[in-house]
Structure 1
């Protein structure tokens, strides 16, 4: 592990791994200071509360490795105490159901990042795989309430029209926590140069992912391809509003991907990712130091590396969370 990696704040903008001790040990091996950890996708309010309760028990049971993040001070403290801070995040606002009051309730539970839609349409707006009608009236109210309580709006799986309207509606920075540029590969989940510039120009944030189906070389990709993708986004958006969000699915099998990619209508499937094999050099969370090494190999300055590893995420989280 390089000196830069070891001394940096390292924040992964999105992990949806199978939450268990082996994954948490790998987070420590990888030197992660904090990670946005998915606790809700398709679950409603009640099942999401149960997921949060389970995650909090895991944090207690693995207190030698983990701590719960409610503020950026908690992230700094996790760095100081050599633990990984767990940021509770949703990949779908489905759990808000049709009740604005649930948003503050979830904030009270510790939720700090919520993606508005997951691939398809919900009460708020439309995902990236459907014809996009934009943000609903309820969606505008949801964003305003998320702004008020201090939950970050995530637009990674959200459609272009809904994303643009959400960016304009929000009074706080919003993010693509885990996306790739369509300039390197055309895919419904990837963002165009115009979309990347638009979110950056409006004070938003971009976490670059390495999910192989969205990478230029797919399962042939290496950690150097990942750095190339991050560099591509920086060239459009600038190095101050870019971080990384791997989208690690560590510990999951095919059944998980079948569940995650389901569509409205029984037995309907949205997409088939085929083989999911992370880039060579960063196949597991524990290999995260190789990302820093690849940035160094690419000739990045130390200040740029520290920003992308976590300093940028830390700043934007403080803007949104208020502490």
Structure 2
């Protein structure tokens, strides 16, 4: 393994893989210190509690590989112990339902990152595949409560107007945990230069994804194309507010993508990804050290690499989660 990768804290801002022992083993193979792991998308409150219980059972059953993350100290401890820290995250606030009290309940269970909307409208605001009505009154209350209990606001799949209003409403840094620049490829899920600057200028954070439908060269992409996308965002907003958010979907088949691309998991089709094939060189989580190699090939200084592969995420998580 690349020596710099091996000694660094490596954080992935978004993974939505099929949670099982082979994936957890690959996390260790890839030198992953921590990852924001999706446990809810279209799930309601009760189903999400079940998903969290299931993930905690995985953590107990694979205690040689995994540990639960509630604080940034837990991430540092995971590094010392040679484990991967599991950060519980949602890709939709649907599980909050219409009850603000559910937010603190989820925080108590260990949830630390929640995306406000997944592609379409909910009680909080609008996703990126619909006409955007902006942040609702309830949405303002949700953000204030997430700030209070230390859950990071994620806006990756959220519409432009709702995102802008959420960035302005939040007293703590918010994130696009997994996005790509529209400057390299026009796509409803990609963010314009203006959007990227807007979040960065207000203390927010950008996790750059490598999900092939959003990359310039699609399934022809390589790990070097991914570094190009990271470079593009860094050149726009600076290297201190950019990190990695791969959006690995390891272990899932076509059924998963059919579910995830239909509104509410069962409604109309919102998008068709076609073939999903991650960039050559980083097709699996276990190949993460190749990303550090590619950054070195691109002439990145070690200080920048250490920040982008994990140091920046660690800092911003600390700002949101508190002590």
Residue number in structure 2 paired with 1:109: 109
Matched, 1:262 2:262: yes
| Shift of residue 268, structure 1, vs aligned partner | 1.4
Residue number in structure 2 paired with 1:224: 224
User: C-alpha offsets along residues 167-202 of structure 1, whole Å, 9 cap, x if unaligned?
Assistant: 000000000000000000000000000000000000
| Shift of residue 73, structure 1, vs aligned partner | 0.1
2: CA distance between counterparts of 1:266 and 1:281? 34
Matched residue of 2:87: which SS?
A: strand
2: CA distance between counterparts of 1:259 and 1:221? 25
In the superposition, relative to structure 1, how do residues 299 and 253 fare at CA in structure 2: closer, same or farther (>3 Å)?
A: same
Instruction: Tell me, yes or no, if the aligned pair for 2:30 and 2:288 is still in contact at 8 Å.
Output: yes
2: CA distance between counterparts of 1:115 and 1:198? 18
Residue number in structure 2 paired with 1:183: 183
Residue number in structure 1 paired with 2:295: 295
| Shift of residue 265, structure 1, vs aligned partner | 9.6
| Shift of residue 264, structure 1, vs aligned partner | 5.4
| Shift of residue 267, structure 1, vs aligned partner | 4.5
1: CA distance between counterparts of 2:267 and 2:239? 43
In the superposition, relative to structure 1, how do residues 206 and 265 fare at CA in structure 2: closer, same or farther (>3 Å)?
A: closer
Q: What stretches of structure 2 of length at least 5 have no aligned partner? A: none
1: CA distance between counterparts of 2:84 and 2:263? 34
Residue number in structure 2 paired with 1:59: 59
1: CA distance between counterparts of 2:138 and 2:268? 27
2: CA distance between counterparts of 1:188 and 1:51? 29
Residue number in structure 1 paired with 2:93: 93
Matched residue of 2:263: which SS?
A: coil
Matched residue of 1:240: which SS?
A: helix
TM-score of the pair, normalised by structure 1: 0.99
1: CA distance between counterparts of 2:265 and 2:212? 27
| Shift of residue 82, structure 1, vs aligned partner | 0.1
1: CA distance between counterparts of 2:161 and 2:39? 26
What are the within-5 Å matches in structure 2 for residues 101-250 of structure 1?
Answer: 101-250=101-250
Matched residue of 1:88: which SS?
A: strand
Residue number in structure 2 paired with 1:5: 5
| Shift of residue 266, structure 1, vs aligned partner | 5.5
Matched residue of 1:185: which SS?
A: coil
2: CA distance between counterparts of 1:304 and 1:124? 36
Q: What stretches of structure 1 of length at least 5 have no aligned partner? A: none
In the superposition, relative to structure 1, how do residues 223 and 138 fare at CA in structure 2: closer, same or farther (>3 Å)?
A: same
Q: CA RMSD of the aligned region, Å?
A: 0.8
1: CA distance between counterparts of 2:7 and 2:265? 49
1: CA distance between counterparts of 2:304 and 2:264? 42
2: CA distance between counterparts of 1:16 and 1:264? 17
Matched residue of 1:277: which SS?
A: coil
Matched residue of 1:87: which SS?
A: strand
